[in-house]
Structure formats: structure tokens, C-alpha cells
Structure 1
Amino acid sequence: MKVLKLIRLLTVLIVTVNFTNAQNNGDTADKKAVITVMKLYKDTLQNLTNEGKFELFTEDSKVFESGGLEVSYAH
């Protein structure tokens, strides 16, 4: 009888831990959008041209490089 209660208790604890630690591994729409933009930016840098770079930034974008503000991407 004690063994059955112990098994039942352990089963409940294991199930509880599994449910509380379960994570959603699916990518969210926001994460996919960020990955897409970063890939586009990387591709434009590797092309060594300005083609398509400016479309990835808004007019009020700020660029921080080497610990300092570079004003804007156009700068």
C-alpha cells in the first residue's frame, strides 16, 4: 500500500514538473520578422553596395557603433 502511494505521489510530481517546465519552442511572428530583417541586412553588407540598405531603416533610426552614436544610418 505504501509503495502504491509513493508511486502515485512520484507520478504526480513528475507530471507537475513536466507541465510547469514545458516551453513553447515555436518561433513567434516577431522573432521571424527580426530574423528576416537581420538576414536582409547581412546580405546587403556582403554585397558591398548600398543597394537595399536604406529601406531597412526608418528616417529617425539611430546607429550606435564602437560605443558612440553615429547620428543616423545615412550619416
Structure 2
Amino acid sequence: MKTAIGRLFIVSYTVEGTWRLLRRYGWSWQQPTRPTIERDDDAVELWKREVWPRVRAPRRRTAVGWSSRTRPVSR
């Protein structure tokens, strides 16, 4: 949804911002009541195991030994 909004309206939202925007206009998360007939559970598991780890965003690393993202004050 985030990508579709970006392409259609040439704006950039975070994932959280996208959901806030959609909720503001009365949209909600929809989930099917029953699984689809065409679903291939083996293919889904294979994708989760092999493809998802490659495409998900890596975690940002912070400086060693420093928990804050801001720099300490130098005196």
C-alpha cells in the first residue's frame, strides 16, 4: 500500500504513517475469513525461509557501547 500511494501521488510515508492515513479515511486491515484454495503452504514456507531474509531491511547498527543514537557531550 505504501508503494502504491508513493507511485500514485509521488509522496513518501512511513509504514506507520501509511496506516494512520488509511485509518483517518475509514480504511481498515482486512483478512480473509478462510484460506484460499490456491494457497501453496510449502511455497509460502520456502519464501519465508529463503527470500524474506534477503529482502527485509537490515537493522541499523549503533556505536559499540553506546545505547543512544545521539552523541555524548564533549567537555
More strand by share: 1
Structure possessing the higher radius of gyration over alpha carbons? 1
Using structure 1 for the length normalisation, give the TM-score.
Answer: 0.25
Using structure 2 for the length normalisation, give the TM-score.
Answer: 0.25
